[in-house]
Structure 1
Amino acid sequence: MERYSRQMRFAPIGARGQARLGASGVLIVGMGALGAVLASHMTRAGVGLVRFADRDYVEKSNLQRQMLYDEDDAASGLPKAIAAERKLARVNSEVRLEPVVADVTAANVEALMEGVDVVLDGTDNFRTRLLLNDACFRHGVPFVYGGAVSSQGMTATFVPGETSCLRCLIGSEPDGAGQTCDTIGVVSPIVDIVASFQAVEALKLLVGDAESRRRSLLSLELWRHQLFEMRLAPPKASCPTCGEAPTFPSLEIEADDATTLCGRETVQIRAPRPFELDRLEARLSAVCPAVERNPFLLRATLPEGERLVLFPDGRALVQGTEDIGRAKSLFDRYIGG
């Protein structure tokens, strides 16, 4: 156990805690800035199964804060989950890494949670966070929330049967118009700090140190050096997720076939069936000024100036517009129904 010797000398973990880590599993949803730090900590700590899901691929603008990726990943357009798995496999070959290139929705979230003991939030939107919140409370799995934007961050741990849930904290479902890194920017240290707070709470859960767990919402403003802590309230009896008669509303919402990705000038479209990338590569190469392909996706610059990114699972990103109507028109023109 030389690899973990320094961690095992830390009394709250010890040999017993290390054994529990090795027998545990986590799911990380979102492999951007937060997810990259979370996955690194979980892998280096020796968590037995580290499963992570992300729908996106590495771009140059990610490199300022998403610590697992490099310029080669961006130039190749590797999906973040794949790029992360390649890096982390060289860090700890003893950990089972399961990268998933997919958008996490009500249709697949519960399958992704199979065999895991904690779910870690690496996402950038509250719709997905509420989905994870509902799935965790339905299945009795702790959910470690985290968010970072500008120089501000928040994190809290929600444990079914013990604490209130994220829906209790934020009220009704947000309209999706919140601030993001793509709209107001972010300094990378706040990401590392928030993700590290998330990671240490996950370790406490996995080794069974209930006494040391933080039971509050922690809010940070790094640039002005401000910190605020608010104790989590008990579950609300009327809450549809953790109340007396839970209905888990986010698990009943079907994914939209077209969604604007806030602040990214991108529309995501879901096709009714998977894509045959070989066939589409040949078709688009005949009409597009530039087409790039790797084993995981196809990118094409359209004659109109927008860019089309196609994933085998039937997802398409139309980059260069936030107009859903125009995105659908371009999709239909070059891909078809």
Structure 2
Amino acid sequence: MKYNMSERYARQELFYGIGKEGQKKLTGKKVAIIGCGALGCTSANLMVRSGVGCVKIIDRDFIEECNLQRQTLFDEDDISNNLPKAIAAKKKLQKINSNITIEATVAEINPSNIDSNLHDTDLIIDGTDNFETRFLINDYCVKNAIPWIYGACIGSIGITMSIIPGVTPCLRCALQDIPTFGSTETCDTAGILSPASGIIASIQAAEALKILTDNVAAVNRYLLKFDLWKNEITRLKIHNLREINICKTCKSNQFEYLKMGKYSATTTLCGRNAVQIVPVNGSNINLPMLASRLKPIGNVSFNKYMLRLETDKYVVTVFPDSRVIITGTNDLPTAKSIYAKYIGM
């Protein structure tokens, strides 16, 4: 059923910053949201409701019970159905707006697939949980002149920054290098307050709407940080960082993170007692065949999106692209050993 679009967006079109012309522009745009956790769920919801013509959701993970506290597109049925986040999100979002295109990709963005997934996007929203992927997105966006909105949230603290290549400083202008491992808080150590992630994602969505409707003058030019629990808001001036820093990305055009040598194939997952392993020479896996082989080892369930093996100590989730998430440990050597034991190296 196709609904009356003039009624759907009427209140948004009344807003002076968008109007009917802005709404027409949104209809012709494509936004990619990388990561469908707390930030990604909220920003995807807002992009779809705003009438962006195509919304693409890219996420590597599946839904767990601890996600339901803050990841607003998911429910208990999604857990029972063993759905990847991207697929479950698409199903929900299609019910919200059937007049736009919603794409879902179950994958981890890396140097080998980033161009095939993002080459036709007008804007990218960051919903990731790690700096390695953010620096990769930053390199790609600067190289290809694609605007993107950085966002992060830990505990009650949220931070965001809008990046328009050639106009504003890039993420590497502000941070220069990935923070040293263990030097920053994670969801595991600090937790996360759901209203905080909702606010950051809403700011990201608002910034996206400004850019997509060509209201660049209205874009936030600060690095915005708040602590919702302490009622503190900080705006850090960053407009001159492109001039005073010798940025490896937007000044030197080195794009180090687009090279596979900078990419970690094995990583711990934020907020989870889990490790992801991405085989260097991965290929598509026959999930039914693997399920048959693993049945004697533990409880096995699978669908076309993923396979899950439950043993006494670990849960091993295998995706068709050969990625594996091992839940029950955050020790990399242990995870690799489990991978070799059950999947084969």
Query: TM-score interval w.r.t. the shorter chain?
Result: over 0.9
Residue 189 of structure 1 corresponds to which residue in structure 2? Answer: 195
Q: CA deviation at 1:115?
A: 1.7
Q: Distance in 2 between matches of 1:55 and 1:80?
A: 8
In structure 1, give the amino acid aligned to 2:309: A
Say whether 1:297 aligns with 2:303. no
Say whether 1:253 aligns with 2:260. yes
Q: CA deviation at 1:205?
A: 0.2
Q: Distance in 2 between matches of 1:55 and 1:102?
A: 5
Q: CA deviation at 1:263?
A: 4.4
Which consecutive unaligned segments of at least 5 residues does structure 2 have?
Answer: 1-5
Q: Distance in 1 between matches of 2:303 and 2:115?
A: 29
In structure 2, give the amino acid aligned to 1:209: N
Q: Distance in 2 between matches of 1:231 and 1:165?
A: 13
Q: Distance in 2 between matches of 1:157 and 1:189?
A: 21
In structure 2, give the amino acid aligned to 1:223: W
Q: Distance in 2 between matches of 1:123 and 1:195?
A: 12
Aligned partner of 2:336 among 312, 328, 336:
328
Q: CA deviation at 1:66?
A: 0.3
Residue 327 of structure 2 corresponds to which residue in structure 1? Answer: 319
Q: CA deviation at 1:129?
A: 0.7
Which consecutive unaligned segments of at least 5 residues does structure 1 have?
Answer: none
Say whether 1:80 aligns with 2:85. yes
Residue 276 of structure 1 corresponds to which residue in structure 2? Answer: 286
Say whether 1:112 aligns with 2:92. no
In structure 2, give the amino acid aligned to 1:84: A
Aligned partner of 1:125 among 126, 130, 134:
130
Residue 64 of structure 1 corresponds to which residue in structure 2? Answer: 69
Within 5 A, what are the aligned runs for 1:203-218? 203-218=209-224
In structure 2, give the amino acid aligned to 1:166: L
Q: Distance in 2 between matches of 1:40 and 1:121?
A: 14
CA contact (8 A) 1:65 1:188 kept: yes
Aligned to 1:63, the other structure's residue is in SS state helix
In structure 2, give the amino acid aligned to 1:155: T
In structure 2, relative to structure 1, the CA distance for the partners of 1:86 and 1:262 (3 Å cut) is closer
Aligned partner of 1:92 among 88, 92, 97:
97
Residue 306 of structure 1 corresponds to which residue in structure 2? Answer: 314
Q: Distance in 2 between matches of 1:156 and 1:324?
A: 32
Q: CA deviation at 1:323?
A: 2.0
**Cα deviation code 1:61-111 (max 9, x no counterpart):** 000000000001122221000000000000001111111100111111122
Q: CA deviation at 1:175?
A: 2.8
In structure 2, give the amino acid aligned to 1:83: A
Q: CA deviation at 1:330?
A: 1.6
Aligned to 2:9, the other structure's residue is in SS state helix
TM superposition score normalised by structure 2? 0.94
The worse-fitting range, judged by mean Cα deviation, of 19-28 and 207-216 is 207-216
Q: CA deviation at 1:291?
A: 1.3
CA contact (8 A) 2:112 2:260 kept: no
Residue 135 of structure 1 corresponds to which residue in structure 2? Answer: 140
Aligned partner of 1:286 among 270, 277, 296:
296
The CA RMSD measured in Å over matched residues stands at: 1.3
> Structure 1 vs Structure 2: percent identity of aligned residues?
41
Q: CA deviation at 1:281?
A: 0.6
Q: Distance in 2 between matches of 1:267 and 1:211?
A: 42
Q: Distance in 2 between matches of 1:143 and 1:38?
A: 13
In structure 2, give the amino acid aligned to 1:293: F
Residue 16 of structure 1 corresponds to which residue in structure 2? Answer: 21
Q: Distance in 2 between matches of 1:99 and 1:297?
A: 15
How many residues are paired up?
334
Aligned partner of 1:30 among 10, 35, 45:
35
In structure 2, relative to structure 1, the CA distance for the partners of 1:240 and 1:218 (3 Å cut) is same
**Cα deviation code 1:92-147 (max 9, x no counterpart):** 01111111100111111122212211110001111111111111000001110111
Aligned to 1:97, the other structure's residue is in SS state strand
